[in-house]
Homo-oligomer: A and B are copies of this chain.
Amino acid sequence: MPALSQSDLVASMFSTPDMQGVFSARACLQGMLDFESALARAQAEAGVVPAAVVPHIDACCKAELIDAEALCAAAGPAGNLAIPLVRQLTALVTKQDAEAGKFVHWGATSQDAIDTGMLLQLRQALDLIRRDLAGLLDALAVLCEHHRDTPQAGRTWLQQALPVTFGLKVAGWMDGLLRRQARLDQVSQTAMVVQFGGAAGTLASLGDAGLTVTEALARQLRLGVADIPWHTQRDRLCEVACELGMLVGSLGKMARDISLAMQTEVAELAEPVATGRGGSSAMPHKRNPVGCAIALTCAARMPGLVSTMLAGMVQEHERALGGWQAEWDTVPQIAGLAAAATHQLRQVAEGLTVDTARMQTNLHLTDGLIMAEAVTIALGRDLGRLAAHKLVEQACGVAVAERRNLRDVLVDSLAADARLAQSLSSPELDRLFNPSSYLGVAGQFVDRVLQTHRRQKTERKD
């Protein structure tokens, strides 16, 4: 029995307990055993094996009956976990009933058990992820609606650019996540097709009963039936991996935004406070963005793991040498990281502290520079876009150099230049320097995203 690994400790931080259960050693063995018992039932149904063997095989397909230590010792030389598992299972069944022992793993190959078992685990994982993703979206929808019109400094290239709304920012996060939700719903269906092809994908071991057994087997496990076994066509799994990779990418973007907004100097957002959360072993005042950190950690690890899945697609003939085996530890990591990031950001979103006063304060940090585009557009109609851009650019330079408010500099310019004064009256200038008056259609964008959320939610219920 292998000892608990460092990886398990780390996973306890990054992953959720539920997800750790899904990819525990026990669950891994049980997945394969579920395949073996369903296979016996399906084959009995199709008349391929005697019906009498089923209860004996069923009774032994329990992970707790397996000697994991012996299994691990034999798996290395064997090249996979299924060979020693089937060997142990056969011994267990034979002890119960010699006849039943004859038909364990009948007509199947190791990869049939391994792949199908892994899909059964992955289905649970996707359910957990989708549950947390739905919760996260609900929490974001509340924030989005509430802050539909809350002005906040928009930042491009990490510089204050012009006003946006906090609702718009949240709507942006939702936008990407809503697409992932829709796609994850899809691939949770399309990827879930039973693996059953026998030694080289012909099911020759079952004579002409191959498809009948496949269909019965799929029914037993509530999986779909593919056109053809997929021993070396791994794109369905890769599709799941890519989707989870993009999910974590979108979550990473959200975590990046929140952690930037949590900086001491910005302080517009804060992760929920809880005892033991976000502390430091050295600094008693710290409230670290631990949820965001986990999401960003997942986002840092995901691209490499997804690239491993893609690289593994180039498999040899009827069973691969490396590409398949590379999935065994990679798929659970991909699912675990996606679950962790989703779960963490759901918690963050559900308890996010939003400091609208600070948002307001920050909007005024630049002494009006943040409204430069507004003035440019107002002047541009007469002067032309580029000429107005140049003029305001110069005024910004003066404002910065002389530490004056941009509005005051422009008032001087208007006073000095009659043509300019004609283009832009002083009251208009005042209006232009009110951030709330320069939010464009941000509210409508928010509404569109919220509407998509509602529509998707309704459709998913149906």
Shortest A302–chain B CB gap in Å is 6
Q: Report which of B263, B285, B295 forms a contact with A393, defined as CB distance below 8 A.
A: B285
Q: Report which of B26, B110, B362 forms a contact with A4, defined as CB distance below 8 A.
A: B26
Closest chain B residue, CB of each to CB of A210:
B441
Query: Using an 8 Å CB-CB cutoff, how does the interface string of A221-264 with B read, 1 for contact, 0 for none?
Result: 00000111110111110110010011001101101110110111
- Determine if A418 is an interface residue (Cβ-Cβ < 8 Å): no
Query: Using an 8 Å CB-CB cutoff, how does the interface string of A155-197 with B read, 1 for contact, 0 for none?
Result: 1111111111100110110011001100100000000000000
Closest chain B residue, CB of each to CB of A14:
B329
Neighbouring B residues of A440 by C-beta, 8 Å? 198, 202-208, 210
The answer to whether A325 touches B9, judged by C-beta atoms less than 8 angstroms apart, is no
In whole angstroms, what is the CA distance A278 to B78 when docked? 5
Neighbouring B residues of A317 by C-beta, 8 Å? 154-156, 158, 169, 257, 260
The interface size of chain A toward B, counting residues with CB under 8 Å, comes to 206
Shortest A275–chain B CB gap in Å is 8
Neighbouring B residues of A107 by C-beta, 8 Å? 377
The answer to whether B286 touches A157, judged by C-beta atoms less than 8 angstroms apart, is yes
Closest chain B residue, CB of each to CB of A22:
B6
Q: Report which of B23, B78, B164, B198 forms a contact with A276, defined as CB distance below 8 A.
A: B78
The answer to whether A75 touches B9, judged by C-beta atoms less than 8 angstroms apart, is yes
Shortest A21–chain B CB gap in Å is 7
- Determine if A365 is an interface residue (Cβ-Cβ < 8 Å): yes
Neighbouring B residues of A300 by C-beta, 8 Å? 308, 311-312, 322-323, 325-326
- With A104-B385, A283-B373 given, name 5 new contacts (CB 8 A): A3-B21, A77-B278, A79-B288, A256-B316, A284-B373
The answer to whether A8 touches B20, judged by C-beta atoms less than 8 angstroms apart, is no
Interface window among A82-90, A126-134, A135-143: A82-90
Given contacts A78-B279, A202-B168, A373-B204, contact A322 B297 (CB under 8 A): yes
- Determine if A407 is an interface residue (Cβ-Cβ < 8 Å): no
Neighbouring B residues of A103 by C-beta, 8 Å? 384-385
Closest chain B residue, CB of each to CB of A6:
B28
Q: Report which of B71, B176, B255, B279 forms a contact with A233, defined as CB distance below 8 A.
A: B176
The answer to whether B6 touches A2, judged by C-beta atoms less than 8 angstroms apart, is no
Neighbouring B residues of A312 by C-beta, 8 Å? 300
Neighbouring B residues of A90 by C-beta, 8 Å? 384-386
The answer to whether B299 touches A314, judged by C-beta atoms less than 8 angstroms apart, is yes
Q: Report which of B155, B233, B311, B380 forms a contact with A316, defined as CB distance below 8 A.
A: B155
The answer to whether B12 touches A24, judged by C-beta atoms less than 8 angstroms apart, is no
In whole angstroms, what is the CA distance A13 to B192 when docked? 27
Given contacts A256-B316, A281-B82, A281-B108, contact A321 B296 (CB under 8 A): yes
The answer to whether A406 touches B285, judged by C-beta atoms less than 8 angstroms apart, is yes
